[in-house]
């Protein structure tokens, strides 16, 4: 009985033990499953954080790179600064975000960069840096960006982006028409009877032999630079300083017209025997037509004063005399030798400033050894004005450049513009035709009659290559949106480009697309830069350009060219006709032509009826009244992401 009860008790305990084992096994499996789940969760979370870090790194990196590139394009980071950075190959430039935030109460200065802009702090584990390097042998630049964000410690690598910045040099401003007028060359002769330069800026430069004919009525208001020999004209009046520059400058004696006159109170003579090019030595002011030095007599030079530097001069009769029709005050500067042989018809007041003077001693010829000997206030004021201005001219790089500005040779001009011999051929136009900007065109030559070509430069610079002689009758090129772009005509060697002298002033041309009728105005017209653009009365209307803006067009000649425009025709252009010697070109602007621009050529014809009236026109590249935005020479060419 006892045995039976013991067996039952044993069976009961065994069942309890089995249940315990099962429970323990279940618990063990649960622990394994829970541990695995926790491990998987932690691993997933870690991968998630790493993915988030990498995604944030890529986002921060890309945004930082785009911001820098945009700043370069807007020139907030200038090209010069970028190039300077590229020279410092070991430098690292940190790109940081906001330095402060007010997102929550008690925020610190580091919260903005750490929390608001991850990857843009000064912390090495939460930063974006940029390195700048130059591609060897080029001006191309590589921007290398690197962003690192370490939060969990599981990912210590960086997201990187390499941006290749291509350097495209800016289009050079054409080196043409540096002076308002440049004409002549050594050995050339120009008779310019009707020239009126009304602006006071820049220079009018005469090379070679120039004759401003008697009774011409020419008026030049900006400083005139003479590097050759001039024959005076009785009707020619200068309204600014006249500067004889270089050892070959001088005045022909005898001279028709018997005079060179500067209006009272408006300028002086400056005889500066400085080196010009390869020419050195003392200036011999008066010469005969063979070039030999002669005494100055029978000719009157009239101005308020005259300054001599490294110049020799002998005068007699009334030349430079102070009789009210001459020049009272002389200053004999360094290297000068002045000789006054005759006291007839008035005298002079001469002050030595390092030069030598010999003169007939009379009561009307007064020579002072230095300004310290002078007590007369008028003489002191004249001396100070002449000496000061002469000193500024001797040191003036702009004056030197103006005097050295020669007419381009055909080789020089062809080297720059010969590549323009391509383009879409423009047909023989009659009526109205519209051309696109930012394109190249070609005129094959011939007569173009009763037509109008409209060119909108809003799309960019436009060229028209002129391959053969062209004559335009009642025809014009109408240029719009020329503020920042130009229309460039390139005349092939030997080509003429003429607007006919006998246009049909009162007939009209009708635009076939709009039905609008226009009068036949001839020339090259900037419709954005004209007073009274309706041209209802082209023969008598005021069609001059607005001073201060640049002309719409550039006319380039490659040698032995002729550009011609005359009465009632309109020309808005810089005209630079190359060619010297037998390749010399001629610009014809005469008989009340409406000209706005500058010109340079060996030969110039201003006609003999009405003055060529030139307003002040800025040099190419400096006169647009609308500021142009800064642009970079760098553009992003390729992007390369990599992970390190």
Q: How far is CA 112 from CA 34, 69, 100, 118, 531, in A?
A: 40, 24, 5, 9, 58
Give the residue ranges of the chain where pLDDT is below 70: 1-17, 36-52, 97-117, 119, 151-154, 170-173, 213-217, 232-235, 254-258, 317-318, 322-325, 343-346, 361-363, 430, 502-520, 528-548, 623-629
Structure letter (DSSP) for residue 573 = E
**Separation of alpha carbons 417 and 413, rounded Å:** 6
Given this model, what pLDDT does residue 188 score? 92
Instruction: Give 108-122 as a 3 state SS string.
Output: CCCHHHHHHCCCCCC
Q: Is the dihedral of CA 477, 478, 480, 482 positive or negative?
A: positive
Given this model, what pLDDT does residue 174 score? 74
Given this model, what pLDDT does residue 593 score? 86
Given this model, what pLDDT does residue 305 score? 94
Given this model, what pLDDT does residue 515 score? 66
What is the DSSP pairing of strand 570-577 with strand 523-526? parallel
Given this model, what pLDDT does residue 471 score? 93
The full length of the chain comes to 644
**Separation of alpha carbons 443 and 469, rounded Å:** 9
**Token representation of residue 318:** 């009334």
Given this model, what pLDDT does residue 322 score? 67
Structure letter (DSSP) for residue 640 = E
Please state whether the predicted TM-score (pTM) of the whole model is above 0.75.
no
Given this model, what pLDDT does residue 535 score? 42
Strand order of the β-sheet with 311-315 is 283-284, 311-315, 337-340, 356-359
**Separation of alpha carbons 415 and 305, rounded Å:** 45
């Amino acid at each position: 009985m006892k045995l039976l009860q013991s067996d039952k008790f044993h069976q009961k305990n065994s069942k309890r033990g089995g249940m315990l084992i099962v429970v323990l096994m279940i618990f063990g499996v649960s622990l394994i499953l829970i541990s695995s789940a926790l491990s998987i969760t932690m691993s997933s979370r870690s991968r998630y954080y790493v993915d988030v870090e990498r995604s944030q790194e890529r986002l921060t990196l890309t945004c930082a790179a785009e911001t820098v590139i945009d700043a370069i394009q807007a020139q907030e980071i200038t090209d010069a600064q970028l190039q300077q950075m590229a020279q410092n190959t070991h430098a690292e430039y940190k790109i940081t975000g906001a330095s402060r935030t007010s997102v929550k109460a008690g925020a610190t200065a580091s919260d903005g960069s750490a929390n608001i802009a991850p990857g843009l702090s000064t912390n090495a584990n939460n930063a974006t840096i940029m390195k700048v390097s130059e591609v060897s042998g080029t001006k191309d630049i590589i921007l290398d960006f690197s962003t690192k964000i370490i939060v969990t410690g599981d990912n210590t690598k960086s997201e990187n982006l390499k941006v290749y910045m291509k350097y495209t040099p800016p289009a050079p401003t054409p080196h043409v028409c540096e002076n308002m007028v440049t004409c002549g060359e050594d050995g050339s002769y120009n008779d310019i009877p009707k020239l009126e330069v009304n602006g006071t800026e820049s220079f009018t430069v005469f090379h070679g032999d120039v004759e401003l004919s008697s009774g011409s009525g020419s008026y030049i208001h900006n400083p005139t630079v003479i590097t050759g020999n001039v024959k005076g004209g009785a009707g020619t009046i200068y309204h600014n300083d006249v500067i004889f520059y270089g050892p070959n400058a001088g005045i022909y004696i005898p001279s028709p017209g018997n005079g060179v006159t500067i209006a009272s109170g408006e300028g002086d003579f400056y005889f500066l025997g400085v080196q010009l090019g390869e020419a050195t030595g003392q200036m011999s002011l008066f010469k005969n037509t063979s070039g030999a030095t002669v005494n100055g007599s029978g000719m009157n030079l009239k101005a308020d004063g005259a300054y001599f530097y490294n110049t020799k001069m002998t005068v007699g009769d009334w030349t430079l005399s102070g009789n009210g029709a001459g020049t009272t005050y002389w200053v004999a500067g360094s290297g000068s030798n002045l000789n006054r042989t005759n006291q007839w018809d008035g005298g002079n007041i001469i002050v030595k400033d390092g030069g030598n003077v010999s003169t007939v001693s009379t009561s009307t010829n007064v020579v002072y050894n230095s300004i310290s000997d002078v007590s007369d206030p008028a003489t002191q004021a004249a001396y100070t004005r002449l000496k000061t201005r002469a000193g500024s001219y001797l040191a003036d790089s702009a004056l030197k450049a103006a005097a050295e500005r020669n007419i381009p040779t055909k080789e020089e001009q062809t080297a720059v513009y010969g590549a323009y011999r391509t383009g879409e051929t423009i047909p023989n136009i009659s009526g109205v035709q519209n051309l696109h900007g930012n394109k190249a065109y070609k005129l094959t030559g011939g007569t173009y009659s009763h037509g109008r070509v409209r060119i909108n430069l809003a799309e960019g610079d436009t060229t028209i290559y002129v391959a053969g002689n062209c004559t335009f009758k009642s025809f014009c090129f109408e240029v719009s949106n020329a503020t920042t772009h130009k229309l460039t005509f390139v005349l092939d060697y030997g080509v003429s480009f003429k607007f006919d002298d006998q246009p049909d002033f009162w007939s009209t041309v009708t635009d076939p697309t709009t039905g609008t009728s226009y009068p036949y105005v001839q020339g090259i017209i900037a419709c954005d830069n004209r007073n009274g653009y309706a041209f209802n009365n082209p023969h008598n209307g005021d069609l001059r350009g607005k001073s201060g803006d640049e002309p719409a067009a550039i006319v380039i000649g490659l040698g032995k060219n002729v550009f011609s425009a005359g009465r009632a025709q309109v020309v808005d252009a810089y005209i630079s006709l190359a060619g010297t010697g037998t390749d010399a070109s001629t610009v014809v602007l005469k008989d009340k032509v409406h000209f706005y621009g500058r010109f340079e050529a060996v030969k110039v014809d201003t006609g003999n009826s009405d003055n060529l009236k030139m307003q002040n026109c800025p040099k190419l590249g400096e006169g647009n009244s609308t500021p142009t935005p800064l642009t970079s020479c760098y553009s992003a060419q390729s992007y390369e992401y990599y992970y390190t």
